[in-house]
Amino acid sequence: MPLARRARVLLLSQYVKTGSAVQVMAQDTTGFGYLLKERIAAIGDLTEAIRRIGAGGSVIDPEVVARLLRRHRAAGPMDTLTHREREVLALIAEGRSNEAITRQMTVSGKTVETHVRNIFTKLGLESSTTDHRRVPAVLTYLRA
């Protein structure tokens, strides 16, 4: 009797959930893929991933790999930020205004304001009348 063929699986996720990825990959990476929806730039990228998985290969999003590698070091304040929040913080570190970030990321100003507010909150940067929170946020980003 021939061996049963393992199911091929492509997980498309909006969020990085390394726990579930590790569980699946610990069993067998044959025919397994884990991609973040927002990072699939073109239909050709998705088609190529499906082909590789169908042939028994594996496809793992670089952000998932980075998160898995970071699991082995002490958690820092940057680890609490989402991918989008880290993107916004990187643009802040480049000296971009909220308006410039809005144009570059093609999102609303309210979305950028929400991301910036979340960054400040997650990094523990209290509102102050004497200091600007963008500078300590960028310093935290550069240290990470």
pLDDT band at 102 (very low <50, low <70, confident <90, very high): very high
In this prediction the pTM is 0.50
Closest CA to 35 of 9, 6, 55: 9
**Bridge partners, 36 (sequence order):** 13
Q: What is the pLDDT of residues 12-71, one digit of tens each?
A: 888 777 676 666 666 666 788 888 888 777 788 888 888 988 888 888 888 877 777 666
64 HSE (CA, 13 A, CB side): 24
Residue 82: CB atoms within 10 A of its CB come to: 14
Residue 136: CB atoms within 10 A of its CB come to: 15
pLDDT band at 92 (very low <50, low <70, confident <90, very high): very high
Sequence-separated (6 or more) residues with CB below 8 Å from residue 50: 10, 33
- 18-27 and 62-70 are packed helices; what angle lies between their axes, rounded to 10 degrees? 100
